[in-house]
């Protein structure tokens, strides 16, 4: 069993789904030792409290620069003996301080079929562009914006009457299935 940290900046629904898979005995290869967040108001914190997961808050504004910020995170990761990092709605580019240590052991999920529509508002980008299919991608994290090696993807159609909210919900449901499946397969 590998110690993992989950990084989240917002709602934390992917964190919650991972924890539900652990509780149901469907993910037995990981031990979530902490939720790491950069937002004091992140709802992921409330979800972590319900699961009894320790929360570590690191706000970039409290540090002189990004390197110092990531050094503080790295110190806590080492203290927690973290072997893998799972990004679940963490809205910052990971810098070299963390990448140098966790390269090849850091996963991210993104709400599009990468390499299409990287970055923020991927669902909105897909709707505005007019594609007929979108989905979710799990990839290794590298120094770029959603440019790491793709591990797995799931797709869904974009319907004529889709709104951003309706499509976002369908893509999230793909994420909830895809991410635990990839975590089970990749983290050994």
Active site annotation includes 110: yes
Helix (H, G, I), strand (E, B) or coil at 5: strand
pLDDT of residue 183: 97
Q: What is the mean pLDDT of each run of 10 residues along the chain (188 residues)?
A: 96 96 95 97 96 96 94 97 96 92 96 96 95 97 94 97 96 97 94
- Residue 158 per-residue DSSP state: P
Helix (H, G, I), strand (E, B) or coil at 90: coil
Bridge-partner residues for 84, per DSSP? 4
Give the pair of three-digit tokens for residue 16.
């919650």
DSSP annotation of 61 reads G
Task: Out of 21, 56, 110, 139, pick the active-site residue.
Answer: 110
Ordered strands of the 106-110 beta sheet = 55-57, 30-37, 2-8, 84-87, 106-110, 133-140, 150-157
How high is the pLDDT of residue 91?
87
pLDDT at 188: 82
- Domains of the chain with CATH codes: 2-186 (3.40.50.170)
| Residue 155: per-residue pLDDT | 97
């Amino acid at each position: 069993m590998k110690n993992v940290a989950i990084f989240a900046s917002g709602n934390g629904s992917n964190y919650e789904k991972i924890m539900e898979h652990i509780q149901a005995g469907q993910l037995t290869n990981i031990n979530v030792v902490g939720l790491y967040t950069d937002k004091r108001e992140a709802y992921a914190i409330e979800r972590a409290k319900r699961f009894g997961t320790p929360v570590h808050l690191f706000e970039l504004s409290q540090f002189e620069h990004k390197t110092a910020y990531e050094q503080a995170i790295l110190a806590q990761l080492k203290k927690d003996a973290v072997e893998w990092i799972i990004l679940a709605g963490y809205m910052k580019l990971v810098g070299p301080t963390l990448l140098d240590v966790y390269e090849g052991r850091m996963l991210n999920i993104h709400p599009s079929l990468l390499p299409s529509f990287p970055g923020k508002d991927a669902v909105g980008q897909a709707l505005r562009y007019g594609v007929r299919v979108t989905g979710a991608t799990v990839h290794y994290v590298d120094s770029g914006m959603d440019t790491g090696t793709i591990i797995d993807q799931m797709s869904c159609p974009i319907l004529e009457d889709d709104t951003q909210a309706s499509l976002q919900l369908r893509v999230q449901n793909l994420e909830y299935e895809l991410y635990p499946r990839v975590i089970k397969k990749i983290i050994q």
